Chains A and B, each alone.
Chain A
Amino acid sequence: MTSPPPPMSLLAELTHRCPLQCPYCSNPLMLDPRTQELGTAEWQRVLDEAAQMGVLQVHFSGGEPMARPDLPELVRHAAKAGLYSNLITSGVLIRPDSLRALADAGLDHIQLSFQDVEAASADRIANMAGAHAKKLEAARLVAAEGLPLTLNFVIHRQNAQRVPAMLELAEQLGARRVEIAHTQYYGWGLLNRDALLPDRAQIEATTQAVQAARTRLAGRMSIDFVTPDYYEDRPKPCMGGWGQRFLNITPTGKVLPCHAAETIPNIVFPSVREASLADIWDHAPIFTLFRGTEWMPEPCKSCAFKEEDWGGCRCQALALAGQANAADPVCHKAPDHNAVVQAIAQRPQTPPPFRYRRFGNA
């Protein structure tokens, strides 16, 4: 087998520690403890290896990556290696001095998350009093610093009606990009699905709000819109194809094709503590297992779209069909499509309480 093309981007999850407890967090249910996190020198080696392989962009994420005091040092190292650096942050730890240290280190861009536009609702979703006010202040500091800013809103049944106000807030805060991302249902999101899954009318309303804003803001602000695939007929090309463009490294150094891949059973997760990143990308079973189209079952194997959607999402197949190598149940042709139909049909009228994301709460 020939070597796969090198990855384009690396998601570096520096820590799972976070002051927020959002119920749709993309971190796994079993969070990595601080005592096992990679150290500064280990991350620096990983960044060098990533750049040498052909990774172009590194996304420093978490948890809350600003909980790591060595973040400016890692940003500086990434810049020196020629990597474009992005900070994915909740913003609650941004202060004038901490932001300045990151800008001086060569940080290229900041993605700041918001939970809502109404403070009370936002703070309830994050389960952190005062979080929203801190984020507004953080956005002002980023704009004053002149760093390009993306605002990220994760949306769901409890805030989707405020998408137009979210877009207005992004405009007011001087964001160049905004992401309106419907919740994806893995890990914590799946655990909280009944509290989060919108209905079809909400999906349509959010789609219309985004289209109207795209027309109004063309050339000034770009909008990325992530739809919830439960309401689609065809699955999404998850991660641009398994092991084709993207690598994720967990706080303890496990290397994964996506941030939910730790749910896949009976497989060894390779670690940067034991092998080089290039060796893992080229040869580790977790990457080769679902790369390309060889692994596909029917109806994927004979499907005309198999190199467009790559069979959809392996973690969703596992979560909903019980097997990672099944067709993504979102697809209307998948044998397990009924799992998605049922999830929508059985969605309760009143959302149940959130099960917040924190150590030991899964």
Chain B
Amino acid sequence: MTQATGQTVTESTVPRFARGTRLQYDRVREVWFVQAPERAFHADPIAAEILQLVDGSRTLGAIIDQLALKFDAPRAVIAQDVLAMVADLTDKQVLLHA
């Protein structure tokens, strides 16, 4: 059902959390959650790594570089994951970008 929202996610995109959404570590369950209006959804370990780098000033390109270095993984693979996840969370109104 999801349709394009007119916002294209590229490596120059600078994502930020929309007001009323945030990433939060749950010390009781020992997992990360995205807190959003009237729902909290579990962020899997990959999503949590990406979202911890979302600060409203880093570009997705910089986030991809950092993760490729940290996990010693092929940049193209990381890039695909990051761009897809950010597009999905933008559709869910969790992330915004200019």
Please report A residues at the B interface, Cβ cutoff 8 Å.
6, 8-9, 52-54, 56-57, 59, 82, 84, 86, 108-109, 111, 146-148, 150, 176-177, 214-215, 218-220, 222
Contacts of A54 in B (CB 8 A): 26, 28-29
Whether B91 contacts A86 by the Cβ 8 Å rule is: no
Q: Check A6/B1 contact, CB under 8 A, given A82-B24, A111-B38.
A: no
B90 CB-CB contact with A under 8 Å: yes
Q: Would you call B8 an interface residue if the criterion is a C-beta within 8 Å of the partner chain's C-beta atoms? A: no
Those 8 A-B pairs whose CB atoms lie nearest each other, nearest first: A148-B20, A54-B28, A219-B5, A84-B35, A109-B37, A56-B40, A218-B3, A219-B91
CB-based contact B20/A108 at 8 Å:
yes
* Alpha-carbon distance between A219 and B88 when the two chains are bound, in angstroms: 9
Say yes or no: B40 contacts A148, CB within 8 Å.
Answer: no
Residue of A nearest to B38 (CB): A86
For B2, the chain A residues whose CB sits under 8 A away are: 218-219
B37→A8 contact, CB < 8 A: no
Complex CA–CA separation, A6 to B29 (angstroms): 9
Contact call A146/B24, Cβ cutoff below 8 A: no
The answer to whether B1 and A109 touch across the interface, beta carbons within 8 angstroms, is: no
Q: How many residues of B contact A (CB 8 A)?
A: 23
B19 on the interface (CB 8 Å rule)?
A: yes
Contact with A along B1-44 (1 / 0, CB 8 A): 11111000000000000111110101011000101011010000
Chain A residues whose CB sits within 8 angstroms of the CB of B1 once the complex forms: 214-215, 218
Nearest Cβ on chain A to B26's Cβ, whole angstroms: 7
B93 located at the interface, meaning its Cβ lies under 8 Å from any Cβ of chain A in the complex:
yes
Question: With A109-B20, A176-B93, A219-B5 as given contacts, are A150 and B38 in contact (CB-CB < 8 Å)?
Answer: yes
For B19, list chain A residues within 8 Å (CB).
146-148
Contact B40 A8 (CB under 8 A): yes
Closest Cβ of chain B to A80, distance in Å, is 14
Q: Cα distance A185–B2 when bound, in Å? A: 33
Known contacts A108-B20, A148-B18, A222-B93; A84 and B5 CB within 8 A of each other: no
Distance between A237 CB and nearest chain B CB, rounded to angstroms: 16
| Chain A residue at minimum C-beta to C-beta distance from B92 | A222
Determine the chain A residues whose CB is within 8 A of the CB of B20 once the complex forms. 108-109, 147-148, 176
Seed contacts A148-B20, A215-B3; 12 additional CB < 8 Å A-B pairs: A54-B29, A56-B24, A57-B38, A86-B38, A109-B37, A147-B19, A150-B37, A150-B38, A176-B20, A218-B5, A219-B91, A219-B93
Q: In the assembled complex, which residues on chain B have CB atoms less than 8 Å from the CB atom of A150?
A: 37-38
Chain A CB count within 10 A is highest, among B5, B19, B22, B91, for: B19
Beta-carbon contact of A219 and B37 below 8 Å: no
- B5 partner residues in chain A, CB cutoff 8 A: 218-220
**A347 CA / B27 CA spacing, docked (Å):** 51
* A257 → B minimal CB distance (Å): 19
